[in-house]
Amino acid sequence: MRNKQATRLLLELSEPGRRGAVLPECDVPCQHLENLVPDRFLATSVPNLPEVTEPEVVRHYANLSTLNMSVDTHFYPLGSCTMKYNPKRNERLAAFPGIVDVHPYQSDRSLQGLLRLFYELQQILAEISGLGAVSLQPAAGAHGEMAALMVAAAYFRDQGESRNKVLTPDSAHGTNPASAKMCGFESVTVKSTPQGFVDMDDLRSKLDETVAVFMITNPNTLGLFEHNVAAIAEEVHARGGLIYLDGANMNAILGITRPGDFGADMMHFNPHKTFSGPHGGGGPGAGPIAVTEKLGDYLPVPIVVKKNSPDGPFFQLEFDRPRSIGRVRSFFGNCGVLVRAYCYLLTHGGAGLRRVAENAVLNANYLLSRVKHFLPVPQGESCMHEFVASAAELKQDRGIAAMDLAKRLLDYGVHAPTVYFPLTVKEAIMIEPTETESRETLDHFAEILFRIIDEPVDLLHEAPHTTGVSRPDEVAAARKPILKWVANNPPT
């Protein structure tokens, strides 16, 4: 039974005089407010926050939560997002006293355990990437991209070179060109071949001494390994440019191949994808970056270093790095996410990480082998950790769009894949099962998809049918935006 309370807003549940938290009495001599703060600084009214009791807060959010699909409750093959199982032990360990309640400006001396953890994490990420220098500071993948491009810009400035372009493939995540722009670069798009790889001729035609960085996602967003990557790197390096690896798809290659070994100079990790950090309804992530030794001096400050003393090793934050680009965020980094990543990495060890990649790729190929018989996968005889099917034929023949399939899948109790990305595939359906799903789940998903394709067109156009709401009017939402609660706006 759906609780109707769930869809009322907190501010609609509000009743004057109700409250959740009660604070302690003031235990210091209380002074008149005006004696402490002149009137002109004080609010004349309290903010209109909801007045609700603690049980109401709990019931409200508990009910709201049931309106979400999540990894804990549903198969969630959202391509490019690596929605793998989020281990519960990591949640518990990251909440330990001594980890969750330490202040960012405590002395290094008072934080030797935590700094050791981050130091070891830096080393582990260096080993996985094959790139010697690591910064844990960036707050998310896109933030890592930006930080790394700033590193590249600083490097070229030091070399006395003025390179103003960043190349990105047309299949790249939108964050790539957006990050390039934020760093003052002009973003230039490189075409893909019909097979889904970087078009070498187009790359060569755009590659010159003004190109600072070529950003490549490998495996790419079609789930294919850019087999030319070494040649690409060689050509870019020959013109003095750098290779950036968008690490969104690292799950496919952990322990199999390393970005540093296939020519990347810089990369970011997405610990909330690859290393099982929960996605939190939108975040947080973290975006540690790894770069070659020659670029290491330019990384954001601080980084954790280990000093050996007669009393044993001492871990400390190092700020004195004259070539550093500076800070890209406040404090050390998204530590809570990094601690979870560390726990995940220690749980697996080297051999275990390789098995993660193997099973992610096995699961994706198995699902591909079932799906491709009834839904075209334009670039896919085989794949890495994900593949991109296309509903273009379905749309042309029967008017069934990728979005219709996505919406109908919800009725069958699975989250939809990513649709309409990458932009290079018409009616794209990007499916990433991850390694933490069973063969039965994959079989079940393939069977549902197979069944849906034969369902009546009208049924699909109006799907989903079983959810509380169906096909919200996005046009109305964008034309006349209502972005906050206003009074007298009751639920219908």
Partner 1 sequence: MKPEELRYAKTHEWVHIPQEDGNRLATVGISAFAVEALTDLVFLELPEVGKQVQQGDTLGEVESVKAVSDFYSPVAGEVVEVNSELPDDLERLGEDPYGRGWIAKIRLSDESALDTLMDHAAYGALCAEEEI
Partner 2 sequence: MPYLYNTPEDQRAMLEAIGCASIDALFDTIPEELRLNRPLDLPPAMGELELTRHITELAAQNLSSESADCFLGAGSYDHFIPAVVDYVASRGEFYTSYTPYQAEVSQGNLQAMFEYQSMICELTGMDVSNQSLYDGGTAAVEAVLMSMDVTRRHGEVIVAQSVHPEYRQILDTYLTSLPTKVVSVGCPKGTIDREEFAEALGEDTACVLLQQPNFFGCLEEVRELAEQTHAAGALLVVVVDPISLGLLERPGEYGADIVVAEGQSLGTPMQYGGPYLGIMACREAFVRRLPGRIAGQTVDRRGKRCWVLTLQTREQHIRRDKATSNICTNQGLFALRASVYLAAMGPEGLRDVAGLCLQKAAYARESFANLERFEPAFDAPVFKEFVLRDRQNRVDQLLTDAESAGILAGVPLGRWYPELSDCLLVAVTEKRTRSQIDRLVDFVAEDSKDKAPLHA
In angstroms, what is the minimal distance from the CB of 471 to partner 2? 4
Q: Which does 66 bind (CB under 5 to 8 A by kind): partner 2, partner 1, none?
A: partner 2
Looking at residue 308, the DSSP 8-state letter turns out to be: E
What is the distance between the alpha carbons of residues 264 and 320, in angstroms, rounded to a whole number? 27
Give the end-to-end CA distance of the chain in Å, rounded to a whole number. 18
Contact with partner 1 (CB under 8 A) among 420, 441, 444, 461: 420
Q: CA 369 → CA 316, 386, 389, 417, 457, distances in Å?
A: 51, 12, 12, 17, 26
Q: CA 376 → CA 120, 414, 417, distances in Å?
A: 45, 21, 15
State yes or no: residue 478 binds partner 1 (CB under 8 A).
yes
Q: Are strands 165-169 and 211-217 parallel, antiparallel or unpaired?
A: parallel
Query: Which of these, 341, 339, 319, lies nearest to 331 by C-alpha position?
Result: 319
Under rule CB under 8 A, which residues in 213-272 are in contact with partner 2? 224-225, 227, 229-230, 253-258, 261-262, 270, 272
Compute the Cα dihedral for 485, 486, 488, 489 and give only its sign. negative
Phi, psi (5° rounding) for residue 487? -65, 160
Looking at residue 186, the DSSP 8-state letter turns out to be: E
In angstroms, what is the minimal distance from the CB of 269 to partner 1? 29
State yes or no: residue 107 binds partner 2 (CB under 8 A).
yes
In angstroms, what is the minimal distance from the CB of 53 to partner 2? 9
State yes or no: residue 276 binds partner 2 (CB under 8 A).
yes
358: tokens are 């193997």
Stretch 22-41: interaction string toward partner 2, x if CB under 8 A: xxx-xxxxxx-x--xxx-xx
Chain centroid to CA 238: 32
State yes or no: residue 474 binds partner 1 (CB under 8 A).
yes
What is the distance between the alpha carbons of residues 212 and 165, in angstroms, rounded to a whole number? 6
Q: Which does 491 bind (CB under 5 to 8 A by kind): partner 2, partner 1, none?
A: partner 2
Which one of the spans 136-144, 200-208, 235-243, 305-313 is the region binding partner 2 (CB under 8 A)? 136-144
Q: Which residues of 45-65 are buried (b: 16+ CB within 10 A; e: fewer)?
A: eeeeebbbeeebeebbeebee
Stretch 337-376: interaction string toward partner 2, x if CB under 8 A: x-----x-xxxxxxxxxxxx-xx-xxx-xx-xxx------
**Nearer to partner 1 by C-beta: 148 or 403?**
403
**Nearer to partner 2 by C-beta: 238 or 482?**
482
State yes or no: residue 47 binds partner 2 (CB under 8 A).
yes
Which one of the spans 148-156, 339-347, 372-380, 473-481 is the region binding partner 1 (CB under 8 A)? 473-481
In angstroms, what is the minimal distance from the CB of 479 to partner 1? 5
State yes or no: residue 472 binds partner 1 (CB under 8 A).
no
Binding residues for partner 1, per CB under 8 A? 420, 474-475, 478-479
